[in-house]
Each structure stands twice: as structure tokens, then as C-alpha cells.
Amino acid sequence: GVSVEAAPAAARERHAELAELIEDANWRYYVLDSPTVSDAEYDTWMREIRVLEEEHPDLRTPDSPTQKVGAPISTEFAPVAHLQRMESLDNAFDDEELAGWEARARRLIEADPGPYLCELKIDGLAVALVYEKGRLIRGATRGDGRTGDDITPNVRTLRDVPDRLVGDDVPDLVEVRGEVFLPVEGFKRLNEQLMDAGRPPFANPRNSAAGSLRQKDPRVTAQRPLRLIVHGVGKWEGAEPPKSQSEMYERLASWGLPVSDRFRIVETLDEVREYIGYYNGHRHDPEYEIDGVVVKVNRIAVQRQLGSTSRAPRWAVAFKYPPEEVTTKLLDIQVGV
């Protein structure tokens, strides 16, 4: 085989240091719902560790943060195994990286991967809802992608989550994935209430949604104005599957699930750029916070062809907007207290 040269000590040390910083941030973000660094800062650590691993591939071990999704799940909830692995998304931070994503896909399938479905990257938390014979039987967080927290009683309190799916084409078993979020207004109100009660506020809407959903007492969840938008499926059994992402959304919507009305299907990468540009200037139009745009290959057959890496699909990419404020989000709150 190919021999891999061992990384020099300095690179190894920096790698270990970054891995520790990232694991600690993961724990605070995913398990405690209380991050202490900004997403932008976290993303720079991730970039640095990726670059190190590209230069020194022996540092890319299976337990590296670059090879994993999320964080270890908490012990407060019962663990649930997902019927199908829940993935993360690879990021593109600029136009070159977006073009690189498209070029790789094109090379892999030796054809144009388009059309694309563009949609907003909602800054919430991922959930999986399992419906058996149209009935909601389970709700879980993403966790590490294989095992999540069982939050069934909590998701049942969301008015956007139907208890029963209605339609002739509802599969016998279907795992619906989506994003649970707190609208910005709801987040502000909740933080005011928390501070009035002398309790610590949440750092941002994403963490307030995660903290509200992952409550031991579902009655607390019920009082929080949480919303849901669905954006994918996992396991699907016993009905003709959709042929495109957009057909999937039409069907999910027809069964009573909340689908975004801001997605757009486009043919070319230039039109993808237009969509990204538009929302860069209209970031606060939606009632929820967004941190970017998700671009998905629309045809399911092409998605299958492209498949996934160890942590993310090759048929989708998250274009992340530059941060509007770096640590001010956290600082604001501290000052606000």
C-alpha cells in the first residue's frame, strides 16, 4: 500500500489541541445546549483541523472530529437507534468551494448533476419523526447520527407535528427529518421571561430551540413556541418513493407536514448563486434565523449515485454566510444580564 509519512510533532500537537477544543465545544453545544464560543470561531477550528489532516493524512483517524457527526448523546434521555443514519452537511464558505462541490459531483457521475433544489439553512436542531401506518410513534434528536435522544413526548407537544399523516400514498413506515426552531420573536420573548425569572438566557435561537425541546418535562416544551420545517426522509417502506427532492416535499406537504415555501428549483450553478445572493441580502426576511443556504441535487437517482462520505451526503452542500457578528451574540447576552 501507500506509505503515509508520520506528521511532525508540532502538527500532531496542534491537531490534538484542536480536537480537544472541538470536542469540548461539541459537548457544550449539543449536550448542554449552552455554547461558549461562536459558530464562526468553531468553524475556523474545524477548517484548521481539516487543513492539518489534508497535509498529514495519518492524523485523520476515525475518532477525529472531522469524521464524526454531532456529539455523544446525553444520559438524560433514552437512546434511540435511527432507522437510517442521520448525516451532517459539508460546508462551502465561498464561491470557489461551491464550484468545487459541483465539479466533484460532475466528475463522479460524468454528467451534469443539476437541476438543484435551493433552500434555506435553518439554524435549529435536527429531528427524526417516525410514522408507522401514518401514526407518529417516535421523535428523536440526531445525536451522533446513529443514536439520538428519545424526545417523543416533547415533539408531540409541537402543533406543527401531526399525530397522523393523511393520504393514499403514505408509506407503511417513514422517517421524516426536519429542523425544529424558535422564531426570532419567540426567542427574544423567551429570553426576556427567563431573565425576569432570574434565570440564564439562551445564547441564540438555535440553542433556545435545542434547550426547549430537550426538556425532561414535556409541559415545559409545550409552553415554548417551537416550530418545525421538514427537509428530508430517511427510512421509507411500503409506498412508491419520490423521484425528486421537490416531489418529496410535495408529498410530505400533502400529508400535513410543514414544508418551507422558500425553496427553489434551478437548472444551473449560476442560478444557485443568484439564490444565495438574494438571501444574503434578505437574511432576516424569514421568521427564523438562517446561517446559509442548502443546495441539493434534485433527482433522487442522482443523489443515490453520488452517495455519502462518512459524515455527509455528496449530493448536498451547505453554503454558509459570513457571520454578521462574531462573538457579539454571546457578548450581547452577557451585557444584557
Footprint on this chain of ligand NAD (rule: CB under 6 A): 25-26, 28-29, 35, 37-39, 42-43, 69, 88-89, 91, 119, 121-122, 126, 142, 179, 231, 294, 318
- For the range 25-31, what are the long-range contacts, defined as Cβ-Cβ under 8 Å and sequence gap of 24 or more? 26/65, 26/70, 26/71, 27/71, 27/72, 29/71, 29/207, 30/70, 30/71, 30/210, 31/71, 31/72, 31/73, 31/74
DSSP state of 113: -
Q: Is 106 annotated as a binding residue?
A: no
CB nearer ligand NAD, residue 231 or residue 251: 231
Q: Is 103 annotated as a binding residue?
A: no
Q: Is 87 annotated as a binding residue?
A: no
Q: Is 129 annotated as a binding residue?
A: no
User: What would the DSSP string read from start to end of 217-255?
Assistant: SHHHHHTS--EEEEEEEEEEESSPPPSBHHHHHHHHHHT
CB nearer ligand NAD, residue 8 or residue 277: 277
Q: Are strands 125-132 and 290-297 parallel, antiparallel or unpaired?
A: unpaired
Closest residue to ligand NAD in the complex (CB): 126
DSSP state of 100: H
> Are residues 303 and 315 in contact, defined by beta-carbon separation less than 8 angstroms?
yes
Q: Is 68 annotated as a binding residue?
A: no
User: What would the DSSP string read from start to end of 266-312?
Assistant: ESSHHHHHHHHHHHHHTTTSSSS-EEEEEEEESBHHHHHHH-B-SSS
Q: Check 121, 133, 188, 235 and give the catalytic one.
A: 121
- The yes-or-no answer on residue 121 being catalytic is yes
Q: Is 244 annotated as a binding residue?
A: no
Shortest spacing between CB 94 and ligand NAD, in angstroms:
15
CB nearer ligand NAD, residue 21 or residue 109: 21
317: left (phi over 0), alpha (psi -120 to 50) or beta: beta
Shortest spacing between CB 256 and ligand NAD, in angstroms:
19
CB nearer ligand NAD, residue 91 or residue 212: 91
Shortest spacing between CB 29 and ligand NAD, in angstroms:
3
Shortest spacing between CB 3 and ligand NAD, in angstroms:
32
Q: Is 142 annotated as a binding residue?
A: yes
Alpha carbon separation from 33 to 26, 172, 270, 276 (Å, rounded): 9, 34, 37, 29
Shortest spacing between CB 153 and ligand NAD, in angstroms:
21
CB nearer ligand NAD, residue 138 or residue 142: 142
Shortest spacing between CB 97 and ligand NAD, in angstroms:
13
- For the range 237-244, what are the long-range contacts, defined as Cβ-Cβ under 8 Å and sequence gap of 24 or more? 237/171, 237/172, 237/173, 237/174, 238/171, 238/172, 238/173, 239/169, 239/170, 239/171, 239/172, 239/174, 240/169, 241/300, 242/300, 243/299, 243/300, 243/301, 244/117, 244/298, 244/299, 244/300
CB nearer ligand NAD, residue 66 or residue 221: 66
Q: Is 40 annotated as a binding residue?
A: yes
Which sequence positions are flagged as catalytic?
121
- Annotated binding-site positions: 39-43, 88-89, 119, 142, 179, 296, 320
- Annotated binding-site positions for NAD(+): 39-43, 88-89, 119, 142, 179, 296, 320
